[in-house]
Amino acid sequence: MPSSLDELPACVRLEAHATARDKAVAASDISPGSVILEVPSMVVLLLSSDKGRRCDFCLCLGTPEIRLAKCTGCASYWYCGPQCQTLHWGSHKKFCKRLASFMASADFQYMEAHEQLDALLHTHLVAEIASNASSDVRAKQLSTFMSLLPGPPHDSLPIACPMSVGADVHQILEALFTRSGNNNFAIHSHLNTIAHGIFPLASRLFNHSCLPNAAARYMIRRGQSVRMEIVALREIKATEEIYIPYVDPALIESRQQIFELTYGFSCTCPSCNFISTLGSIPSLPVSEAALQELDNTLQKHCFPSSDVDDRTPFVGLTLPDLPENLHPVLRESYLSRLTDTFSRSSHEGSYHVALDVGLTVLAVYLLIYPKTYPQIGMHLLEMAKTAWNAVIATEHDNKHEVLAKTSLLKRARVYRNLASNILEVFGPEGDPAGPLEELAVLKKLLDGEP
């Protein structure tokens, strides 16, 4: 796997960029689903919400057969077994005995949650470099990492757990800190964030767009360090720049602030350019009746045909076509309200409510994301599962209910097929038994196979 600029894959080359440092472009046509780049992690930090559930080295889930063992030194890190603990010990031992007192300190406790995450990620990075691991890959990763641009200046540097480091590491502490905050990635399994990690070559190569043509997926294998793969979401023509998202494009109101404060740039992608022409996004209506009317209007604009087929969801509006009376749907709170209602209704058995709200969620996603974005595929899969559950829950004692069941089956098949078109391109990632397996099981159910 490449770790430095002199090991680029044949399909990528660097070119000059008008405003950024440079840009990665396709050296030849890249087909959808192709792996553009595969790189190993330099460091990873498991989120506190997954502590004790996942291995702190390989990030794999514990199972009844493989029970995680707690580090007896700090009682805060868990491992699949001796192999993972041994592989992690070279860096972990640098702060193991001091971690508990550091996390209990007033300086750490007074931090916001994201600042605590930064401090722990910095701790991992310093420990990894101070461990003096003799590896050609690690040396190239460090060289690439130190070549990254630092983030915007801050009043103070993040703190890290105290540890003994050599003079060579001590001299570069500030340089490490100023680069790690704006050059780390959210590691996800089935699009749920489980950790953060540093992948220097990916940071060095790819610029951001809120309408990306590529995205990162993560390979999690027991006893191995995490790997990132950059995957083409659609066909990328030769000489076309390869973009990835640095943040969730759905953060329409806050993403520019994140770019400026964390990364030191303003995004000028077509989506951001359109949002900038709006000035202030209009407020949402207050009453539930007015919100419901907004939902209905958005659905009618995005899905003008009442019939559903395999192409229906992809012929709706683009963001610049959005009428002024629908601009309030770009509020982040609007999408949060919808996704919360969809999830709650699906789990509580209110399937028809969930399917109606889910269609509005899909409308918003199609306005915000590229049409082949993995989040759209995951939502379509949830819609297909909800429609199937509605089929199971529907009686068929009369003609009306038989017709309703037939319509639900059709919707379930359409949503499953649309989800498959997207998720098959994105490919397998994260934990075993993910969305691709769910799609296969659902297909058998819908086709009446045992």
Contacts of 296 (CB under 8 A, 6+ apart): none
Q: What pLDDT, on a 0 to 100 scale, did the predictor assign at position 317? A: 66
Asked if residue 278 is part of any domain, the answer here is: no
Does residue 123 share a domain with residue 82?
yes
Model confidence over 187-227: pLDDT tens digits? 999 999 999 999 999 999 999 999 999 999 999 999 999 99
Contact partners, residue 418, CB within 8 Å, separation at least 6: 310, 313, 314, 377, 380
Residue 77 has a pLDDT of 97
Task: Give the helix ranges, DSSP H, for 206-264.
Answer: 255-258
| 234 and 307 inside one domain | no
Domain of 293? 283-447
The two beta strands, 227-232 and 214-219, are antiparallel
* pLDDT score, position 123: 95
Dihedral pair phi/psi, residue 182, rounded to 5°: -105, 10
Q: Is 264 part of a structural domain of the chain?
A: no
Q: What is the mean pLDDT of the chain?
A: 91
Tens of pLDDT along 115-130? Answer: 899 999 999 999 999 9
Whether residue 273 lies inside any domain: the answer is: no
pLDDT of residue 394: 80
The CATH number that applies at residue 129 is 2.170.270.10
Strands 69-70 and 43-46: unpaired
Is residue 108 one of the residues assigned to a domain? yes
- Locate the DSSP E strands across 154-292: 185-189, 192-198, 207-208, 214-219, 227-232, 243-244
Number of compact structural domains in the chain: 2
pLDDT by residue for the chain (450 residues), tens digit each? Answer: 777 788 899 999 999 988 888 999 999 999 999 999 999 999 999 999 999 999 999 999 999 999 999 999 999 999 999 999 999 999 999 999 999 999 999 999 999 998 899 999 999 999 999 986 667 888 889 999 999 988 887 766 668 999 988 888 888 888 888 898 889 999 999 999 999 999 999 999 999 999 999 999 999 999 999 999 999 999 999 999 999 999 999 999 999 999 998 898 999 999 999 999 998 899 999 999 999 999 999 998 888 775 566 655 665 568 888 999 999 999 999 999 999 999 999 999 999 999 999 999 999 999 999 999 999 999 999 999 999 999 998 876 555 677 788 889 999 999 999 999 999 999 999 998 899 999 999 999 998 865
Tally of residues, the chain: 450
Residue type present at position 433: A
229 with 375, same domain: the answer is: no
Q: How many CA atoms lie within 13 A of 299 on its CB side?
A: 17
